[in-house]
Structure 1
Amino acid sequence: MSDTSEHIVIVGAGAAGLMAARELGSAGKRVTILEARERCGGRIHPLPASSFGYPADGGAEFVHGEAPVTRGLAREAGLTVRPIGGAQWSFDGTDFSRENPRDPYDDQLHAVVKDLTDDLTVADFLRRHFAGPEYARLRHAVERMVEGYDAADPERASTLALRDEWMNDGHAKSARIDGGYGGLIDFLAAGCHKSGVAIRFGAVVSAIEDSDGRLTVRGADGAVHVCDRVIVTVPLPLLREIALPAAARAKAAAADDIGFGNVIKILLRFKRPWWRERGGLADMLFLLSDETIPVWWTRQPDQHPVLTGWFGGPRTAELSHLDPQGLIESGLDSLAAIFGRPRETIAQDLIAASAVNWAHDPFARGAYSWATLRTRTAQERLARADGLVLFSGEALYRGRDMGTVEAALASGLETAGMILQG
């Protein structure tokens, strides 16, 4: 028999919100999702297959690590999770190399980080253990990885939180879902509809009020939803924009101890994969450089002639003045510098392009979270099931791959479980 006596409002139809809603709805709860956008998915942002020749991802793209919840959901949806393949190349301004700049120091780095017991920021870790001029390349490589891969600030990021990633070298065990993450979102949304969950688009939440144990959720458009519980799944910067009851506001203050980083992502589709014509680069998956758009990847092992540019971390602020077209131009400039080809020649081959600076997205204000020295304590506080307003999302995940879709799905699942066990 359905339990429709308790009404739960979920703020946000991203991965965490949809996962929690599907669980609660299938358990018979009455659930309403309020989503500010006109689509589900949040920072999962499918792009039209007509533009890129396949359903490209303007937001989250890779499946990182073991990702048991993601892989389980993909199996349930009949979607294939395919390992990525290919080589990582580096460009030092002159030459291409398959050697990671960290490689000569990896044994030393692993030995020091393995024995670390007290946490310290990445910048302090490098200053303490690798201060000499002979370690300049290592420091540069580690800082670039922390900024680019984790979208984090080395002066604030936790070394212990990144230890596993360093020991396993970042891109190990990465995969993609055939058809992109959009298929997973469609499956979750369909599951929500099937179990009676109401999804309201264009619903920007401005306030949550507590009155005698009942909650009132107010929309910026004047809409009012009365409910028994609220699960807030918005990205961390948006927590400050929702007026909360006193107890929930005190709890949400812990979010200041969790890092939140930005990413600029640029997708360029060409007539042909011209980069493969350069000797040795036919197997290129990732390409690292110090250009303005420093990281590029291909669709390996797929043959789509698409290059994706990536720029993460605090330094993305340097490009905050650029609109999407300006970012695309910057990407073309970076490719011209890396490959030593005239920019006009590269631009002539361009068929489709898309660029997003996630800091400019009003309902994201950035890309994903990362751990500071105080993050684990903050997460434990925020993820607790005390009170009528609960928090969920990738930033609250206490496992290894924080900031990922897996983290969002697992957090949504955990929050729903706490309510159902309640």
Structure 2
Amino acid sequence: MAASSSTYDTDVLLIGAGAAGLLAARDLATAGLRVLLLEARDYLGGRAHTLTPAGFTQPIEAGAEFMHGEVPLTRALLTEAGQGWQDTAGRTYVVREGEARDDADFFAHLPQVLAKLEELQEDLPLADFLAREFPGPAHAELRTAAIQFAEGYDAADAQRVSSWALRDEWQAGGAEDSPRPEGGYGPLLSWLAEQAQAAGAIIHLATPVQEVRWQPGHAEVVATTGATYRAQRVLCTVPLGVWQRPAGQPGYIGFNPDLPAHRAAAAQLGFGEVIKVVLEFRTAFWQDTLPELEFLLSEAPVPTWWSQFPDPRPLLTGWVAGPAAQRLRSASADALLHLALGSLAQLLHTPVAELQAQLCGSYVRNWGAEAYAYGAYSYPTVGSPAARAVLAAPVANTLYWAGEGLYEGPAGGTVEAALVSGRQAAQALLAAWPA
């Protein structure tokens, strides 16, 4: 429901109905607290958005899609909700010199890079590490592959991303085990909302927060709708992109008194941009030349594509991430669709007109330009553990924080990270709740 110009009183006011906020709301309400959850958008889920646009025969994922790595909390909640997941399978093709080749080892230089990373005594941005350890023309291909991987998978800026964090991520190999929730993340998040509401939580959609006025033990939250919310505690789960908004810009949330240390910590963290283009065709025509296609990697303007294999649905998803997506932030959806079709035509050696004749549905989501998000997911910068600790620190047992950008662990930038962070913040709030 949407809020009107009224005043509401509650025990805990949560800001943001993404994965972190929804799980925290469920846990807090189940513990017996009065919970009110505000969401700026008119839908639940935040950057995990399952929807069925015109022209598509089944739901698609506009945001988070995969389960990278072990993700134990995600799997436990899916099991509790009665929702399964489907393992991915298939072949990875890499386009070199205009030809797509079956190449599961598309980052062949990884062992060589990891060997040097393990010797690294002081953390550096990836670009600086590569320039120092792998200089000159002889290592140009290695540098390019490493940067493409960091920018494409982590949505990271190579000039800022932590080499130590990438070392840990690449050693863990989470990208190699990436099933999908059956039906997408939407059913899980809707189930969490239903669970929270059944326990007494109230959810207000289309209610952007404008300001949080607080003092120890009390807060007033003012929404752009004119409604005011009073609470003993506030749990804020907004994306890093909101934290990083300049004062006076749309989406900025004011705190009174302000929190300069928290804002400075947020500015130190990385928040990557992503453009996702989803195309549904009449048939999976690419299977004739690229059998069992799972991923297609290239240097085209839209460089990464994947299918739903082993699901036979004739769907291809294009992906632009990191600085490349940032450069396209202001591009229109039509321009991005044109760019995607042109890239796919080049990669599949198929005229754009033939692709358009096969096309049933198209959908473009530019997360860098998305209100109330301003990016897709976080990535670790040099010094990010200390910055995350500052940003996650509760203030006067009154203001609490959660979200995937505050998570510390092997599942950074994922729905798992958001869920774990939301649960941990709820547990900390409950532990400090007045007896």
Gaps of 5+ in 1: none
The Cα shift of 1:117 comes to 3.1
1:348 aligns with 2:352: no
Aligned residue in 1 for 2:156: 152
SS at match of 1:155: coil
Q: 1:401 aligns with which of 411, 416, 420?
A: 411
- For residue 378 of structure 2, what is the aligned residue in structure 1? 369
Shift of 1:169: 4.4
Shift of 1:248: 3.5
Q: TM-score when scaled to structure 1?
A: 0.95
- 1:314 corresponds, among 318, 323, 337, to 323
**What are structure 2's unaligned runs of at least 5 residues?**
1-8, 246-251
Q: Secondary structure at the match of 1:190?
A: helix
Letter in 1 for 2:22: L
Within 1, Cα distance between the matches of 2:323 and 2:110?
A: 25
Matched, 1:222 2:233: no
Shift of 1:49: 7.5
Q: Does structure 1 residue 80 correspond to structure 2 residue 84?
A: yes
Distance 1:393 1:170 in 2: 20
Contact 1:53 1:304 in 2 (8 A): no
Determine whether 1:259 maps to 2:235: no
Given that residues 102 and 142 in structure 1 are in contact (C-alpha distance below 8 angstroms), is that contact kept between their aligned partners in structure 2? no
Is 1:57 matched with 2:61? Answer: yes
Please list the CA deviations of residues 150-174 of structure 1 after superposition, one character each: whole Å capped at 9, or x if unmatched. Answer: 0110000001111132224452111
Report deviation, 1:343.
Answer: 0.9
What is the one-letter code of the residue matched to 2:24? A
Deviation at 1:235, TM superposition (A): 1.0
With over 3 angstroms needed to count, the CA separation of the structure-2 counterparts of 1:319 and 1:386, relative to structure 1, is: closer
* Larger CA deviation: 202-211 vs 236-245: 236-245
**Structure 1 residues 115-154: Cα deviation after superposition (integer angstroms, max 9, x where no partner):** 3332111001101111121211111111111111101100
Taking every aligned residue pair, what percent have the same amino acid on both sides?
39
CA distance in 1, matches of 2:94, 2:166: 22
Give the length in aligned residue pairs.
Answer: 416
1:379 and 2:392 are equivalent in the alignment: no
Shift of 1:56: 1.2
Match of 2:28 in 1: 24
| Inter-CA distance 103–20: structure 2 relative to 1 (3 Å threshold) | closer
Q: Is the 8 A contact 2:400 2:429 kept in 1?
A: no
Asked whether the 8 Å contact 2:213–2:257 carries over to 1, the reply is no
CA contact under 8 A between 1:101 and 1:137: conserved in structure 2? Answer: no
Match of 1:143 in 2: 147
Which amino acid in the other structure matches residue 287 of structure 1?
L
Q: Give the alignment's Cα RMSD to 1 decimal.
A: 1.7
Q: Distance in 2 between matches of 1:218 and 1:49?
A: 33
Which AA in structure 2 matches 1:313? G
TM superposition shift of 1:113: 1.7
Equivalent residue number for residue 343 of structure 2: 334
Partner of 2:3: none
Further displaced range: 154-163 or 316-325:
316-325
Q: 92, 95, 100: which one pairs with 2:96?
A: 92
Partner residue of 1:414 out of 400, 404, 424: 424
Alignment correspondent of 2:311: 302
Q: SS of the counterpart of 1:171? A: helix
What TM-score, normalized to structure 2? 0.92
Q: Distance in 2 between matches of 1:393 and 1:307?
A: 29
1:193 — aligned with what?
Answer: 197
Query: Take 2:120 and 2:91, find their aligned partners in 1: how far apart are those partners?
Result: 31
Matches of 2:260 and 2:15, distance apart in 1:
16
